[in-house]
Amino acid sequence: MSFIWLRTWHLGVKSLLLHPLRSLLTVLGIFIGVASVVWLLAIGEGISRKAQEQIEGLGATNIIIRSIKPPEESIESAGSSRSIVPYGVTRADFDRLITTIPTIDRALPIREARYRFGYLGRNTEGRLVGCTPEYAEVNQLEVARGRFLSDTDDHEKWNHCVLAAGTAEKLFPFEDPIGQAIRIEKAFYLVVGVMKDRTPTAGIGGSLTAQEFNNDVYIPINTFWSRIGDIIVTRRTGSFEGEMIELSQITLRVDEVENVLKTAALVKETLKLHHRKQDYAVTVPLELLKQAKTTRLMFIVFMGLIAAISLVVGGIGIMNIMLATVTERTREIGIRRALGAKRGDITRQFLVETVVLSVMGGATGILGGLTCRPLIGALRGIMQRTAPEVFEQLPDVIREVTPIIVPWSIPLAFGISVTIGVIFGLYPAIRAAAMDPIEALRHE
Amino acid sequence: MTPAARMLEATKQYVMDGGTVHALRGVSLEIPTGDYVAIMGPSGSGKSTLLNLLGCLDRPTSGRLMLGDEEISGASDDRLSEIRASHIGFIFQSYNLIPQLSVLENIEVPLYYQGRIDRRQRQRSHELAELVGLGDRLKHRPTQLSGGQQQRVAIARSLINDPYFILADEPTGNLDSVTSEEILRLLNDLNEQGKTIIIVTHEPEVGKLAKRVVRLQDGSICSDKRTRE
Ligand SMILES: Nc1ncnc2c1ncn2[C@@H]1O[C@H](COP(=O)(O)OP(=O)(O)O)[C@@H](O)[C@H]1O
Ligand SMILES: [Mg+2]
């Protein structure tokens, strides 16, 4: 049994090598189809893995509202010539949201600004974050030494601060920061804790820049409001520019995952009623997941279509070539039948040839599929250089995707190619076997 | 001793649009082992049809055919293939070697359809190639050989399964007279070694070499003469 198969394979390869170019071209369709299968699964996996990470970073039950500076025109059209422009979500919004929406079980007000921090002669720039004690937990920040901000710090509006790992490293390369006071603008803040290193999370609010925690300084939000206030003036080449923001961000946590989308809709409506300008953005991590799922689905449908079409076209190509081969080799079929080949032997012989073809397509297709990651990287690079506008238009998920080869896609792709070979090879093989040996022998 | 083949009142009809063609009309024939039979007759008299029946490439419309002890008339398609693979040797007018196979591989084809090739059989295919004078051409392709050489390969191939008989349909039809003579001498030698040979020919000289001449006319045997023992 095994001997017969071995000989049949040997013979199949030999017969195909009689027309190497023809065999190669026949294989092309299967190659594209199989490579597409590997690609689509790798890209799909990359998208969902990325979305998963984003959700993990942002929290599936969270709704994040960020203040954003509205476009210049809309400020001017508002008829204001003030140099200090108020925008963003307010303390009133915050109170309104937590009192009117029952499914919100926790809300974090956050106020951020960029500042220079000083200790003795050393200076560093970073993000000053006014927040409540829950901030650390929500952002998965861990204390390295000392403690994070407490409720008392907040209520009493104490000048206490906690340093992120990077800030601590820069301001206190040699000393223990705990118990020292750092300078922010003209005020001093007592360091009560230092946080551990934290990898950046995915971007929110439509921006691609990841949230970087390592250069932060945390102070109680009430301290921020009372010491620094809502107005921040920055000097810019001779002129002053002022901004008035009450809250940079509100992170809402919803009680149940099922309620997230309904709550998000309510939040958006509530905010809309009180904002004439689009000076805030609402990010729902769960929606990111949904969006990623749709994009992934779109990709799978699209690539699946390409795969299906090229597999069918490849299969038809194989069938076409095999039908021609069978006709061409009618005489050989007659000889083999006369010398003792059963119908089954002839069927097997031609079936093996198609399977060899499709497996060649499958194997090269798998290799082509494995190049997915470097190839997409290269493609992205080329696009960024030659057509940056088009590139910008692409959805984030596509711009950022890192394909991940799904291990089982390889046996799957292999199985598909063998199946195609069998399906499209069966008819020519059966036709070959059905020939009358005497007729076949007489064929010129 | 059982004859190599026995045919009893075999008929063969081809049904076509224009009516039925009676290719054979009740042929009875017995081929003893070791015989050398020439089948002769005008074109269309049924020679090839008779040979196809003896070679189990076709079944008679009616009548019986026995090969050795086995009744062939009702055998299945697969059984006929098995019989061809194990008990019949074919030599064709146009050699009919498989172009992508080497000389040695062509000789071994019937073994392949018997199921297995062991070392003894591989040894035998080498010996047969030597026997037909092609021991130094084992790796050659058919296209690299002359007509006479190709027919020698076909003869070696017809011997590989140690058949009940060898069927040759106009084996010298495509060869020049010198090469024809060589091939006929080879067949004669084989017969002298005990091989049963049935040869279809319309050349009288070829017929003279056989031990027995069967003449067909319009699908029936019109004469069956033994010319030598
Ligand atoms: N497959 C076939 N279909 C129809 N008629 C056939 C077929 N094969 C042979 N015949 C007819 O049967 C008769 C005998 O043919 P054949 O055995 O080939 O004769 P020979 O070999 O003696 O020339 C002829 O009349 C031929 O036309
Ligand atoms: Mg004939």
Helix or strand holding residue B90 (H, E)? strand B88-91
Q: Model ipTM?
A: 0.96
- Spacing of C-alpha B151 from chain mean position: 13
- B188: Cα within 13 Å, side-chain hemisphere: 13
Q: How much is the mean pLDDT over chain B?
A: 93
Q: Helix, strand, or coil here: A79?
A: coil
Q: Residue B77: CB partners within 8 Å, gap ≥ 6?
A: A342, A343
Is the pLDDT at A77 greater than 50? The verdict is no
Tokens read off for A51: 């979305």
Angle between helix B119-131 and helix B147-159 axes, rounded to 10 deg: 140
Is the pLDDT at A244 greater than 70? The verdict is yes
Is the pLDDT at B65 greater than 80? The verdict is yes
pLDDT range class, residue A206, cuts 50, 70, 90: very low
DSSP string of A382-404?
Answer: HHHHH-HHHHHHS-HHHHH----
Q: What residues sit around ligand 2, an ion, with C-beta below 5 angstroms? A: B 48
For chain B, the structural domain boundaries read: 33-56+70-226
User: What pLDDT, on the 0 to 100 scale, is given for residue A208?
Assistant: 38
pLDDT range class, residue B131, cuts 50, 70, 90: very high
Chain B: residue nearest A328 by CA?
A: B99
A355-390 per-position pLDDT tens digit:
988 999 999 999 999 998 888 888 888 888 888 888
Helix or strand holding residue A293 (H, E)? helix A285-328
Question: Smallest Cα–Cα separation from A222: which of A138, A110, A93?
Answer: A110
pTM: 0.72
**pLDDT cut 70: percent of chain A above it:** 91
User: What pLDDT, on the 0 to 100 scale, is given for residue A201?
Assistant: 61
Q: Which residue has the higher pLDDT, A44 or A234?
A: A44
Q: Residue A301: CB partners within 8 Å, gap ≥ 6?
A: none
pLDDT range class, residue A79, cuts 50, 70, 90: very low
Q: Which residue among B12, B48, B50, B220 is best mutated to probe the pocket of ligand 1, counting the most ligand atoms within 8 A of its Cβ?
A: B48
Q: What's the CA gap between B60 and B75, in Å, rounded?
A: 11
CATH class of B33-56+70-226: alpha beta
A304-356 per-position pLDDT tens digit:
888 888 888 888 988 999 999 999 999 999 999 999 999 999 999 999 999 98
B132-182 per-position pLDDT tens digit:
999 999 999 999 999 999 999 999 999 999 999 999 999 998 899 999 999
A434/chain B closest Cα distance in angstroms: 11
Do A340 and B117 lie within an 8 Å CB cutoff? Answer: no
B229/chain A closest Cα distance in angstroms: 31
* Ligand 1 centroid from CA A30, angstroms: 46
Residue environment code for A41-53, b if the CB has 16+ CB neighbours within 10 A, otherwise e: bbbbbbbbebbee
Tokens read off for A77: 């059209």
* Chain B positions in Cβ-Cβ contact with residue A441 (cut-off 8 Å): 92, 96
User: What pLDDT, on the 0 to 100 scale, is given for residue A236?
Assistant: 60
Q: Helix, strand, or coil here: A97?
A: helix
